[in-house]
Structure formats: C-alpha cells, structure tokens
Structure 1
Amino acid sequence: MEETRPGFGQRLRDNWLELLLLLIFVAALVWIATTARGVWQSVAAVPTETPTALPTATAVQPAGTQPDQPLIQPVRDTFDGQQAARLAANLVDAGPRVVGSDGHTEAVGLLIDELRRNAWGLQQQAFTVDEAQHTNIIARSGSGDIVVIATHYDTSPVSDLDPDEANRATPSPGANDGASGPAVLLELARSLDKGQLNGQVWLAFLDGRYAPTAPDGAVQIADSGANALAEALPETVKAVIWVDLAGGQDQRFTIVPNGDPQVAADLWAVAEQLGYARWFVQEAGATADSSVQVFSDHGQAATAIADPDYTYLRTTSDTPDKLSSGSLEQVGRVLEVYLEQQ
C-alpha cells in the first residue's frame, strides 16, 4: 500500500516550533548587525581627541617694511635674509679671503658648490695681477639682454681702519666687506624664478677688489676683478649693479654720484614700493664708488647698492655678529623683484 506524504500545511503545523526559533534567530542576527553594532561602538570604542588645527601662519615682514604699503611679491620663493646671513658666516668661517690664502681657495669652492646646487651655468675667469692668480666666478641664467649683479668676495689683507693700532696688520674677516655681497647673490641664485626673468642675469663674484699685499700697511683698492669682467662683457649688457657692504645693522643707501641715474631710479622705485624708502634714500651720496667707475668707463650703465659708512669697514671687528639678516633681506628683495619684474 502506497504511503501518503503529508502536505505543506501539515508539515508547517508539525514543525511550527522549529520555524519560530529560526525566525527569532534571524531577527537577532539582523538586530546585531544594525542597532547593537552602534550600541557596542558607543560603549566599547576608545574615545579619541579631535585634532586641533594648526594656527594660521602669520606672514613676517622683513625689517623696515612699512605695513601700510603694499608689497610687490616675487613670483616664486622669497629671498630669505636669515639664509643669506648663514651664507655670509660660512664665507667668514673659511678665513680671510686674501688672494693666495687658504681661505681664498676655500671660498672659491664654496661659491661654486652653492651655485651648482642651484643649477646656474658657471664660468671661471682667471687673470693674473703682479704674478698673483685671481679668479672671477660668473653664474648665468636666462637669455636676451644682460643684467649683471656683481660683488667681490676677497678681503682686505690688513685692518688699516681698526681703532686698535695693534690690530692693523691683521687681515679683516670681511663679514660685510666681502661676504655680505656674495651672500646676497648666492641667496638670489636660490630664490630667483628663472622662468620669470625677462633677460639674462649674471651673478658675478669678483676677485681682486683689494691688492693682496699692503706695503707699509697702505691698502690698495685695485678693482682688478671688475676691470677683467668689464673688459669681457658683451654689448648686450643692459645694466651692472654693484652690491657691497649690504648687511650692516644701520645701513643707509644713497645713490652713487658716478653711476647711471636711470638704473638707480629703477632700483630705488622698487625699494619704495617694498616699503624700504627709509633705507634706500632718494638722494645723491657724497662718495663715488670705484667699482661703478670701472664699469662706467667701459660704457656700461652701472650703479651700486653699498653703504660706505659702515662702522667696521676694514677692521678686525667686521664679523658676522655685525650683520643684520633684515638688512640683507631688504637688499635681496629689491634685487629679486627688480630682476623678476623689470
């Protein structure tokens, strides 16, 4: 006899308890996956502090900036006066940079290394004066008409202006007189936006500002490096700007009387727009600059940013502690903006 299989309804009635338990189990799983998960997280999670936002950086204006005057902003990195001061100190640490000395040799290496690090094209101009080998270092970037920013890196072989007579036969450390100018140019090599230049820029580190010997303690300002460069410059030179004694703490720049008035006017206009009119004074100075005269004599439009009234000039006290990073920054910013926006 064939066995009759129970229908669906019969099976449901016979197994109602198992089905109920299954439904309860599924409901429990759904609850755990939703509501209970949130409850567990609120109870068991380790509380974490909300990160505190960093304070908004406040722009620090260079020394001498007048806040109520708008600043021209260079396109790329801004010239860093503190970095320039460090570069000047590094040069001084090499020792007096008298032609033929160990300090001079070390300084040449330092300048070349820094310029290569910032990817400038380099040329060394060797020349001899009284059997002493000299080296000008010229860094180049851009194309077209040339603006030369020139300085000297050598130092006086004696400290003939030192108030202590016992120190006068000692070479001057040359922090402001021989290191401040190169420091400004080296920092320009880092901060200038080469893609923004409207022409060529040459950064010229010149040797032989001073004759390497001082018979009877008499310093001779030879300007032999300036002469060597001026003789080699092409006709496409638009301007030559001599930078010297650029980092004094109480600096005051007047317009050299033997320079090109238009080049000076352009530079001093930038200084005024940057808020530096107190330090870049719109008046003719009393002292002609011998290096500017060299370039002028070769038909080149030249001027100078230099403070001839620096207290520690050619003394043993011309040391890095006499430099002001703010002063270096003022000079660097003026040149940076002039070169990028001329």
Structure 2
Amino acid sequence: MKKTILIALILTITLFLSSCQSQVVPKFNQDNAFDFLKKQCDFGPRVPGTEPHIKCKNYLVQTLRKYTNQVTEHPFQTRIKLNGRSVACYNIIANFNTENSKRLLLCAHWDTRPWADRDPDPANHKKPVMGASDGASGVAVLLEIARIIHILKPNYGVDIVFFDAEDFGSYGDNDSWALGSKHFAQTVSSQYRPEFGILLDLIGDADQQLFIELNSHRYAREIVDRIWNKAQDLGITEFIPETKHDVYDDHLNLLQAGIQCVDIIDFDYEYWHTIEDTPDKCSPRSLGNVGRVLVELLYE
C-alpha cells in the first residue's frame, strides 16, 4: 500500500514538473532588439543597389546563422520605376525547428526608401531614408526572436523572412511596392501553408500606437483577435483593439498566395518617409511590446 502511494506521489510530482516546464515562456530582451536596430542603421540607409545594402545583408545572414544553419538568400532583380535602373535585391529566409510541420511565418522588410519624399523640407526629397522604424525595427524584433528560438524550441516550427524592395514604390501605384514579398509569394512552394503569418512594419515608434490594420481584420480576423487579445492579457495598451488604416504592405501578397497574415504596423508614425526616421525616434520599449506578444504566441 505504501509503495502504491509512493509511486502515485512520484507520478503526480513528475506530471506537475512537466506541466510547469511546458509553461516556461522565455523573456524577450528589448535592449538586445534595440541594439539590432541600431546596428542596421550604423550601415546607413539600406537602399538596394548600394554598398550599405550589401553590408547589411551580409550582417543579417551572419547573425541568423548564429541561431540556425538553415539560412538562404533568394536573389531577384527589380527595376526602379523612377529611373529605370535594374538592381539586385535579396530576400533572406531562416528556418527553425524544421522537423515540426506546424509552422509560423514571421516577416519584415529590411530595405529602406531611396527618397525621403514625405519630408517637410523639399530639399530632402531626393535623400535616402535611414529607416530606423520603417525597416530596421521589425527586423530587430525578429533577430531577437531568432536568438530566443535557438535557446529554447517553441511549440511551432518558425520561418523568418526578411523581404527586400518593399519601399521602392510610387504613391498610387500599388504594383510598385512590396516587391520582395511578391517574389516570395510567386516562388514559394504551393504546399507551404503555415498556421499563420505575422508581418512587422513601422513598430519602433517611441510613441507607439498599434491599431488593427483593415486588410488584416478583413482577411485574417481570427489571427488578429489572437494577437490583440494576447496583448491585452499582457497589459500592453499600445495594441489598440480598433481598426484604422488600409495599408498596402507585404502581407497582401501573402494573403493573395493563400497564407493567412496579419500586419502589425504603426502607420501614424510622424517620421515615415522622412530623413528623421532615425533610432532616436524609436524606443526599446516599443520593440519589447511587440516581441513579448510574439514570444507568448510562440510558446503558448
């Protein structure tokens, strides 16, 4: 009888410990993420066809390879409509936990706009944008996510994709935007169907306000609810559960390819497409808000 009780007690303790272990959620280090943001900006504007673009591409690949040996570059050529010049662009793909067929897609664009054409000073309109929030911020969060996944496997396989040539577009011409995600959607296997995708764009704003983007709400409502409900559970008030802005972004190409994808974006960023989109306009806390939500989703 005593032996039976002892065995039952051991089994109970074992199950309790296993349950506790399954509840472990890693800490998202917002300072690490902000360092990743600043490092990208240290190269200067990452405009396709320039030396800083290539240097940053190499840095991103080398950093991802610290965390997984499944990193590939997907080159493609695109033509800049405003001057007709053809430039080399590169999507960067990193795969984690590849044996897990239940997968999530996390993505962001890593290029920056060649022209600060929304700057209040017309003299700056032909200058390139640094892209601290519009480019570096989403990538920074995902690099920190990659570091975390390397340490502790999540409940999903994860594919991180950095899209190039998102920001070449001309206003009013949707086909000239989001070229890297368009290339990805056209070339990815038709069998690739992650559970869902999350796109990060313009998330670094120190005055962060993350409303629900209208296309995400329209075509991926269930995923939107999971994300914003998770943020509410964590007490992150910068995720505002109201719809605002209809944004043509990389997620639309993924949605058209049959991949459920939500765009987490702060489209009220004051310095969008200006020369003032610099690291001092961003904050570690803003990166941490988004990173914490992603980590909770990965390990729930």
TM bucket (normalised to shorter chain) is 0.7 to 0.9
Alignment of 1:252-267 (within 5 A): 252-259=209-216, 260-267=220-227
Deviation at 1:197, TM superposition (A): 2.1
Deviation at 1:75, TM superposition (A): 2.9
2:36 maps to which residue?
87
Distance 1:239 1:192 in 2: 18
TM-aligned CA distance change 1:93 to 1:139, over 3 Å: same
2:230 maps to which residue?
270
Alpha carbons 1:75, 1:193 under 8 Å: kept: no
Alpha carbons 2:129, 2:274 under 8 Å: kept: yes
The answer to whether the aligner puts 1:291 opposite 2:240 as a matched pair is no
Alignment of 1:12-161 (within 5 A): 75=24, 77-130=26-79, 131-142=86-97, 143-161=100-118
Alpha carbons 1:95, 1:102 under 8 Å: kept: no
TM-aligned CA distance change 1:322 to 1:293, over 3 Å: same
**RMSD value over aligned CA atoms?**
2.2
* Aligned equivalent of 1:318, options 272, 277, 287: 277
The answer to whether the aligner puts 1:331 opposite 2:290 as a matched pair is yes
- The percent identity for this pair of structures is 32
Distance 2:224 2:176 in 1: 24
Task: Return 5+ residue gaps in structure 1 as ranges.
Answer: 1-72
Alpha carbons 1:141, 1:194 under 8 Å: kept: no
Deviation at 1:340, TM superposition (A): 1.6
1:207 maps to which residue?
164
1:251 maps to which residue?
208
SS in structure 1 at match of 2:277: coil
2:82 maps to which residue?
none
Alpha carbons 1:77, 1:193 under 8 Å: kept: no
* Aligned equivalent of 1:230, options 163, 181, 185: 185
Deviation at 1:191, TM superposition (A): 1.8
Deviation at 1:286, TM superposition (A): 2.6
Amino acid at match of 1:296: L
Deviation at 1:155, TM superposition (A): 0.3
Residues 140-171 of structure 1 deviation map (CA, whole Å, 9 limit, x = unaligned) = 11221221111001000010111111111100
TM-aligned CA distance change 1:74 to 1:333, over 3 Å: farther
